[in-house]
Amino acid sequence: MTVLPRLLLRRCRLVHGSTADELVDIAIEAGHIQAIAPDLAFTATTEIDVGGHLVSPPFVESHIHLDSVLTAGQPRWNQSGTLFEGIDIWRDRKQSLTVEDVQRRALQALRQQAEQGVLYIRSHVDVSEASLTALKALLAVKHQVKDWITLQLVAFPQDGIYSHPDNATHLEEALRLGADAVGGIPHYELTREEGVQSVQHVFDLAERYGRLIDIHCDEIDDDQSRFIEVVAACAQRRGWGSRVTASHTTAMGSYNDAYALKLLGMLQRTAINFVANPLINLTLQGRTDTYPKRRGLTRVKELWQQGLNVSLGHDCIQDPWYSLGTGSMLDVASMAVHACQMTGIQEIAACYDMVTEHGAKTLQIDDDYGLKIGNSANLIVLDATDPCEAIRRRATVRYVISQGQLLLETVPAQVNWNPSGNT
Ligand SMILES: [Zn+2]
């Protein structure tokens, strides 16, 4: 049996501390936070002087596709940059998927994200193929990494539930195999009616198997794509609230204000979660516009102002839809600050919350998330003094502590000016 170390972190500046100047110690024992107070007397096996740096709960990646990460350029590059060329390329690439191929890339991406302080990840997995290779590979990865990172898997019918007679069977089989959530893509179904039917189908499956729901919803610039109202109505009638997530909802950025106002009122009564993916939404949407060119993002600021839970994701890291991406949630938050015009100081702090505690709500893990006595000891130390600075400088994550153990340490780069330089 592993004996967990007794860890003590000295001089921590808590992300939601009572005052900016107050530094506290955090004592960790048996994988849990035992005490948070200044100058703790605690005998530790390992003591780290944090030196007044920011201590935060880990980052939460609310939306990524681990089955397609790190495949950019295979078998060809996406030249148009559109969502639909990406889907075509992925259809070809996934013919050569193997369990080993998916596991190798997913593990690489998970390590890349963990190094940047991400310890909770929700990944969508394409379940359009009869073999369900990607899902089987990621279920094994989920088990393999469970001691240092929490992975949730969404069964995602990338090609639609009704585009092929067997797709619905594959989706249900994915739940039987152990996917944590049911996905859908109503705007990609052949007709509006089939889109509506697909949302109801997703809710039926979630009820039958007791799973969460996360739907790729209205990921298009079309102002007539209004499946979010169907998702909201189903969530309200069936009393599903926060167990439901609508990802992307980029069409909301194109709705007329009269409809958007009615919709926001309706959404407030549902308490469903929203996930925006600013890096991808900005680059995939607005492609058919000349000028003015739309931003292609959902109404992040307005949803947040209405008190709805909004979190953020990468969606892609080097795949057929996006050849860039670092895995840093601070990159994602920074893009949200800019693209959603959330530059007010409270708004920047809100964007930080969207990659931490709001993400925990989306994943429905908020019971045991956060810097509280009794919670599992999952936390990160950033080379910054507040969330705004962390986003502005894409602060290095100095320490990552997972389940009470020091998972990794990063030494920030150091610049040495030449003393004889002409400055
Ligand atoms: Zn996605």
User: Tell me: the pLDDT tens digits for 350-368?
Assistant: 999 999 999 999 999 999 9
How far apart (Å, rounded) are the C-alpha atoms in residues 14 and 43?
A: 22
Q: What percent of the chain has pLDDT over 70?
A: 98
Judgement on whether residues 194 and 111 belong to the same structural domain of the protein = yes
Q: What is the pLDDT of residue 414?
A: 92
Please report which helix (H) or strand (E) contains residue 306, including its range: none
Q: Is residue 114 part of a domain?
A: yes
For 315-331, write each residue's pLDDT tens digit: 999 999 999 999 999 99
Q: Which CATH number characterizes residue 378's domain?
A: 2.30.40.10
Q: Is residue 53 part of a domain?
A: yes
Judgement on whether residues 146 and 205 belong to the same structural domain of the protein = yes
Measure 36 CA to ligand 1 centroid, in angstroms: 38
Q: Which two tokens stand for residue 142?
A: 């989920």
Judgement on whether residues 114 and 189 belong to the same structural domain of the protein = yes
Measure 317 CA to ligand 1 centroid, in angstroms: 11
For 96-116, write each residue's pLDDT tens digit: 999 999 999 999 999 999 999
Q: What is the pLDDT of residue 1?
A: 52
How far apart (Å, rounded) are the C-alpha atoms in residues 247 and 274?
A: 6
Measure 147 CA to ligand 1 centroid, in angstroms: 26
Q: Which two tokens stand for residue 321?
A: 């839809």
Residue 20: pLDDT band by 50, 70, 90 thresholds? low
What is the count of structural domains for the chain? 2
For 158-177, write each residue's pLDDT tens digit: 999 998 899 999 999 999 99
Measure 82 CA to ligand 1 centroid, in angstroms: 14
Mean pLDDT, range 122-143, rounded to an integer: 97
Measure 347 CA to ligand 1 centroid, in angstroms: 25
Q: What is the pLDDT of residue 291?
A: 97
By mean pLDDT, which of 18-22, 165-169, 209-213 is the weakest?
Answer: 18-22
Mean pLDDT, range 384-395, rounded to an integer: 97
Distance of CA 12 to the CA centre of its chain: 26
CB atoms under 10 Å from CB of 9, counted, come to: 27
Judgement on whether residues 323 and 247 belong to the same structural domain of the protein = yes
Contact status, residue 83 vs residue 333, Cβ threshold 8 Å: no
Judgement on whether residues 94 and 19 belong to the same structural domain of the protein = no
| Neighbouring residues of the ion ligand 1, judged by CB less than 5 Å | 315
Choose one of 335, 368, 401: the last residue of a domain: 368
Judgement on whether residues 23 and 141 belong to the same structural domain of the protein = no
Measure 277 CA to ligand 1 centroid, in angstroms: 8
Judgement on whether residues 145 and 223 belong to the same structural domain of the protein = yes
Judgement on whether residues 184 and 217 belong to the same structural domain of the protein = yes
3-state secondary structure of 60: strand
Measure 127 CA to ligand 1 centroid, in angstroms: 13
Q: What is the pLDDT of residue 109?
A: 98
By mean pLDDT, which of 40-44, 171-175, 180-184, 384-388 is the weakest?
Answer: 40-44
Q: What is the pLDDT of residue 38?
A: 95
Range of the domain at 64: 59-368
- Paired strand residues for 8: 27, 47
3-state secondary structure of 25: strand
Q: What is the pLDDT of residue 407?
A: 98
Q: What percent of the chain has pLDDT over 90?
A: 92
Active site residue 219: yes
Cβ within 8 Å of residue 314, ≥6 positions away = 61, 63, 64, 277, 279, 280, 325, 327, 329, 332
Examine the pLDDT at 181 and tell me if it is beyond 70: yes
Q: What is the pLDDT of residue 2?
A: 61
Q: Is residue 418 part of a domain?
A: no
Catalytic residue among 85, 129, 219, 347: 219
Measure 280 CA to ligand 1 centroid, in angstroms: 9
Judgement on whether residues 289 and 200 belong to the same structural domain of the protein = yes
Q: Is residue 2 part of a domain?
A: no
How far apart (Å, rounded) are the C-alpha atoms in residues 365 and 107?
A: 22
3-state secondary structure of 32: strand
3-state secondary structure of 177: helix
Q: Is residue 422 part of a domain?
A: no
How far apart (Å, rounded) are the C-alpha atoms in residues 278 and 282?
A: 6
Q: Is residue 328 part of a domain?
A: yes
Q: What is the pLDDT of residue 357?
A: 98
Q: What is the pLDDT of residue 87?
A: 86
Judgement on whether residues 112 and 51 belong to the same structural domain of the protein = no
Amino acid in the structure at residue 65: H
Q: Which two tokens stand for residue 332?
A: 């994602």
Query: What mean pLDDT, rounded, does the chain reach?
Result: 95
For 219-246, write each residue's pLDDT tens digit: 999 999 999 999 999 999 999 999 999 9
Q: Which CATH number characterizes residue 152's domain?
A: 3.20.20.140
Judgement on whether residues 15 and 149 belong to the same structural domain of the protein = no
Judgement on whether residues 378 and 232 belong to the same structural domain of the protein = no
Residue 21: pLDDT band by 50, 70, 90 thresholds? confident
Choose one of 368, 384, 417: the last residue of a domain: 368
By mean pLDDT, which of 77-86, 191-200, 345-354, 386-395 is the weakest?
Answer: 77-86
Measure 363 CA to ligand 1 centroid, in angstroms: 15
For 277-326, write each residue's pLDDT tens digit: 999 999 999 999 999 999 999 999 999 999 999 999 999 999 999 999 99
Q: What is the pLDDT of residue 389?
A: 97
Residue 19: pLDDT band by 50, 70, 90 thresholds? low
Q: Is residue 414 part of a domain?
A: no
Q: Is residue 416 part of a domain?
A: no
